[in-house]
Copies of this chain bind each other. A is one copy, B any other.
Amino acid sequence: MDETIWIDGTKTTTCLTNDRGLAYGDGVFETIRVVKGRLTLVALHMIRLKNGCKRLSIPADWSSVTEQLNKFIQSNYYGKDGVVKIIITRVSQRRGYSPHGGTSRCILQWFSTPTYPEKNYTTGVSLYSCALQLGWQPQLAGIKHLNRLEQVLARQEWQSENYAEGLLTDYQGNIIECTMSNIFLLYGDKLITPDLSHCGVAGVMRQWILSLSGLPVAVEIGHLPLNSLEKATELFICNSIFGIWPVVACQNYRWQAGNLTRYLQEKAESVFHDEAMD
Q: Which residues of chain A have a CB within 8 Å of any CB of chain B?
A: 1-2, 4-9, 12, 14-17, 19-26, 29, 31, 56-57, 64, 67-68, 71-72, 76, 82-83, 85, 87, 89-90, 95-99, 105-112, 114, 132, 134-137, 139-140, 145-156, 171, 179-180, 199
Contacts and interface: CB of A to CB of B under 8 A. Distances in A.
**Copies, count:** 2
Q: Tell me whether chain A's interface is mostly helix, strand or loop, or mixed.
A: mixed
Given A16-B16, A97-B151, A153-B56, A146 B25 contact: yes
Given A24-B149, A145-B149, A180-B97, A109 B5 contact: yes
A56 B171 CA distance: 19
24 contacts: A1-B111, A2-B110, A2-B111, A2-B112, A5-B109, A6-B107, A6-B108, A9-B64, A9-B67, A14-B15, A16-B16, A22-B87, A22-B89, A25-B147, A25-B148, A25-B149, A56-B149, A95-B111, A96-B114, A97-B151, A97-B154, A135-B136, A135-B137, A147-B148
